[in-house]
Amino acid sequence: MKKIYIALLFIVGLVLVAVFSTAAYLKFYLPDIAKSPEITVEQTIERVERGRYLANHITVCMDCHSTRDWSKFAGPLAGNFGGGGERFDQEMGFPGTIYSPNITPYNLADWTDGELYRTITTGVNREGKALFPVMPYHDYGKMDKEDIYSIIAYIRTLESVETTNPERELDFPVSLLVNTMPVEAEHRTKPAESDRLNYGQYLVSASGCVHCHSQRDKGATVPGTEFGGGMEFGQPAGILRTPNITPHEKTGIGSWSQEAFVSRFKLYADSTYEAPTVTLADFNTPMPWGMYAGMKESDLEAMYIYLKSLKPIDHAIERFQKN
pLDDT of 26: 47
131, containing H or E segment: none
Omega within 30 of 0 (cis) for the link into 31 = yes
Final residue belonging to a domain, choices 190, 225, 240: 190
pLDDT of 98: 95
Query: Is the same domain home to 74 and 150?
Result: yes
Query: Is the same domain home to 145 and 222?
Result: no
pLDDT of 94: 83
Query: Is the same domain home to 182 and 207?
Result: no
Alpha helices (runs of H) in the chain, residue ranges in sequence order: 2-24, 45-53, 61-64, 105-108, 113-122, 137-140, 145-155, 174-177, 196-207, 209-212, 258-266, 289-292, 297-308
Query: Is the same domain home to 186 and 221?
Result: no
Q: Domain containing 89: what range?
A: 34-190
Query: Is the same domain home to 42 and 181?
Result: yes
Name which of 160, 134, 140 is nearest 55 in CA terms: 140
pLDDT of 90: 84
pLDDT of 23: 44
Compute the distance between CA of residue 91 and CA of residue 102 in angstroms, rounded to an integer: 23
Domain count, the chain: 2
Q: Specify if 7 maps to a domain.
A: no
Q: Specify if 18 maps to a domain.
A: no
pLDDT of 5: 54
SS3 call for 322: strand
Query: Is the same domain home to 175 and 217?
Result: no
Helix axes 297-308, 196-207, angle to 10 degrees: 100
Maximum pairwise Cα distance, the chain: 84
Query: Is the same domain home to 177 and 241?
Result: no
Q: Specify if 22 maps to a domain.
A: no
Compute the distance between CA of residue 81 and CA of residue 99 in angstroms, rounded to an integer: 15
pLDDT of 4: 59
User: Buried b / exposed e across 221-233, counting CB within 10 Å, b at 16+?
Assistant: beeebbbbbbbeb
Query: Is the same domain home to 258 and 301?
Result: yes
Residue 37 carries which side chain, given as an amino acid letter?
A: P
Query: Is the same domain home to 174 and 235?
Result: no
Query: Is the same domain home to 174 and 86?
Result: yes
pLDDT of 17: 42
pLDDT of 297: 98
Omega within 30 of 0 (cis) for the link into 286 = no
Final residue belonging to a domain, choices 140, 170, 190: 190
CA R_g for the chain = 22
Query: Is the same domain home to 164 and 264?
Result: no
Q: Average pLDDT by consecutive 10-residue portion of the chain (323 residues)? A: 55 46 46 92 97 98 95 93 92 87 97 98 96 95 98 98 94 91 97 98 97 86 95 92 98 98 96 92 95 98 98 96 91
pLDDT of 11: 53
Q: Specify if 73 maps to a domain.
A: yes
Compute the distance between CA of residue 87 and CA of residue 96 in angstroms, rounded to an integer: 10
Q: Specify if 17 maps to a domain.
A: no
Query: Is the same domain home to 152 and 238?
Result: no
Q: Specify if 311 maps to a domain.
A: yes
Compute the distance between CA of residue 99 and CA of residue 166 in angstroms, rounded to an integer: 7
Q: Specify if 5 maps to a domain.
A: no
Compute the distance between CA of residue 261 and CA of residue 131 in angstroms, rounded to an integer: 33
Q: Specify if 20 maps to a domain.
A: no
Final residue belonging to a domain, choices 190, 213, 242: 190
Spatial contact of 196 and 302, defined as CB atoms under 8 Å apart: yes
pLDDT of 1: 59
